[in-house]
Structure 1
């Protein structure tokens, strides 16, 4: 297991392990709830979105995702000393505005907006890490922030796969960059493809882009809270992360 160090000024607190796991499981279950309600109000379908994209866009999703993620890592890390972390609701508002701008021009403008939105998502995840007492400048924490993006996204019902990602700790051991290319990008590409397809819904592209980005930001921030909440709990309670994830699975009925 890769050691993730908590910031030295993080407060010491009493741990009620069962209550903490209950709270994390509840947040995990509701991760996509609010965003999905927003999409539902607009009547945006969430099934079969990828197939609605032009074939050339579907074919290029992997490359577009790798480019967006590479730029996001560079921009997010570089901006930390210039722009302070924002509250969750501000991050969601910023990406909603970006989504509206991208969706107004269809798939082409949405692709151009993609690296900027992924950057804001990554900065939001880094901000959550700090809230839980972790330092995003540490290699292991930076890696964990990127790994949160490998979650299923708000349109998928299978939350068990997200829990599996929380258990995987081999990335740094086999080479972080290689693992990101071979594991993170293939998982993230179809998720971002769903986002692009939703933004391309005729007539309401701008509204769809805003709603979709809001849904994605809310979702990934919740997943980040669960991810780093478990990491912090593992350190403070001196319990192996795999044991905590098993406790989550029991509560969620995904054993």
Structure 2
């Protein structure tokens, strides 16, 4: 569903469609957890202490690389279809998982870059310009959601209402705010990729889950933005409508 599709729907129907996307976002992630066994919060315990300690810094650096690379690549490589982005990251996850933790860590900034480009591409579907600093801030804010390996009851919707203006001086600040949440999420991904025997399969599965998840959350995020503009309703009220609708699904 794109921005033009939303315009053709009444507000409640559009909210229901966005709620279904939100609900479906984590489904694949739960299947991944079932495959590798255990719970998401236990995955981080599998990582060596030095990796856990440096995870937030590594995530912030990965976001910085992604931010720079995604910006540079937009003039060279067009936005791709969602299925192709998913296929690319799935393959990268398999390669990263095949070599254990060292290759999984090396793959981290590459996957983060593709995810950011994917989110930017979805922003354009809703007629937002990802080169606009405010829209770029929205793209980064998508990474502040719970992640595909967390059971989501619909309560984690605060990031939909977050508005951050991204200027040169504010880049570091927004990365600092997003990195802790994303570090936890990416730590779970790294841990899954180091599962003995299942490394390559777990890497492919987690990357598939992550790409699917952030694509859906980007649709919800920018769908709400576009719906607020087209309907003239407060974005805060639309988020509250989304929360109520999620409870009924």
Do they fold alike, i.e. is TM over 0.5?
yes
Comparing 162-171 with 75-84, which one deviates more in the overlay?
A: 162-171
Structure 2 residue 145 is the aligned partner of structure 1 residue 145? no
Structure 2 residue 198 is the aligned partner of structure 1 residue 221? no
SS of structure 1 residue aligned to 2:16 = helix
Paired position in structure 2 for 1:251: 245
Whose helix fraction is larger, Structure 1's or Structure 2's? 2
Question: Runs of 5+ in structure 1 lacking a partner?
Answer: 1-6
Structure 2 residue 81 is the aligned partner of structure 1 residue 87? yes
Shift of 1:225: 0.3
1:75 to 51, 69, 79: 69
Paired position in structure 1 for 2:44: 50
Aligned residues: 245
Counterpart contact for 1:96–1:214, Cα < 8 Å: yes
Shift of 1:13: 3.7
Shift of 1:15: 4.2
Shift of 1:244: 0.3
Q: 1:230 to 1:93 in 2, by over 3 A?
A: same
Equivalent residues in 2 for 1:71-150 (5 A)?
71-150=65-144
Counterpart contact for 2:25–2:216, Cα < 8 Å: yes
Counterpart contact for 1:167–1:242, Cα < 8 Å: yes
Q: 1:49 to 1:169 in 2, by over 3 A?
A: same
Q: Distance in 1 between matches of 2:105 and 2:6?
A: 44
Paired position in structure 2 for 1:20: 14
Structure 2 residue 198 is the aligned partner of structure 1 residue 204? yes
